[in-house]
Amino acid sequence: MTPPNPQATRLAAASVGESVSASRDAQRPPRANPAARLIARVLLQRGLQAAVVAALVGSLSFLMMRLLPGDMAFRIAAGRYGYDMVTAQAADAVRAELALDGPWLDGLLAWWSRLLHLDLGTSTVTGAPVAAEIAHQLGHTLWLALAALAVSTLIALPLGFAAGRHAGGHTDRATLALSVLLRALPPFVLGILLVLAFAVELDWLPAGGHGEHGSWVAPALTLGLGLAATAMRVARDAMAGVVAAPYWLFARTKGLSDRVAMARHGVRNAAVPVVAYLGVQLVYLLEGVVVVETLFAWPGIGHALVHAIFGRDVPMIQGTALTMGLLFVALNAAVDLACMAIDPRLRARVGR
């Protein structure tokens, strides 16, 4: 009888083991895509944050409007008919129509009930649906915000990277002085200076409004220059860190030129903190939108919020404040996803 071949026995056992393992793998449910799991985790976290923001913004804006001094019914009637035409009888009619003498909690619960049905209610001044008015105004605000971000990017990134590439040099000192100057100017002061320079003295741009040629330039510059003030220093510090890193020295030792080393190793590593800082910039952007839109009579959501506060239009105030809060959360979620797309280390850290 021929003895069994040990090598053949091992091969047969390995093939059996592979077939059993393959059958087990076929029975297992397919694993979710890691990228999809990361996106789902970020969206879930930001979704919970959006719910908290909605609760706080809607409730606090309602309570603050009720706590303001003055006759709320008279302000609403003045918004409807004008301050010259409003009378005590008109204010009493508004008070009875909107049940302003009723308990505050009933009004807040009624707004929450409408919100759960995705209904923001109607404006107490114009009578139009709040959602329709916000949808019209939000497009103007987003256009202005994107233009301001473009201005900030075109100014901050080249100057910041140049300053970081030669830290301590003349470019670094000049950009530091420019950053301090721009940051020290409040948005309304910077806007007034731009109006005086480009609208009054040079007559290149309209002083305000919407629809005229170049009417968006001055508001976008006002917001964009304020954003670029700090973003310039963030880009400078990021690039200075890249230049001091070992991988940059190794790239230069290999014989790569500055341009090639910057394209392969510099821009992507320096972009991570710059993109992450966009989340901080969004706070300045949303704050500045209210001031700049009012200053330049830009028909956006910030301008509508200011007019709604003067007219005590509570549903409009709640709707605009809620939209701005949710927009901030959504843009921060986009920043998180962009940072993870740029830096694989963040994907590994979040995926643990």
What pLDDT shows up at residue 10? Answer: 47
What pLDDT shows up at residue 347? Answer: 57
Domains of the chain: 52-116 (no CATH), 130-350 (1.10.3720.10)
Q: How is residue 134 written in tokens?
A: 């916000």
Model confidence, pTM: 0.73
What pLDDT shows up at residue 227? Answer: 86
CA dist 111 and 299 (Å) reads: 25
Average pLDDT, 10 consecutive residues per value, the chain (352 residues): 49 44 48 67 83 87 85 86 82 86 83 85 88 88 87 89 84 89 86 89 82 83 88 86 77 74 71 73 75 86 86 89 85 78 62 54
Cα dist. 18→13, 177, 271, 275, 312 in Å?
Answer: 9, 68, 46, 47, 73
What pLDDT shows up at residue 226? Answer: 85
pLDDT digits (tens, 9 = 90+) for 207-257: 887 777 878 888 999 988 988 888 888 888 888 888 777 777 777 777 777
Partners of 122 in beta bridges: 129
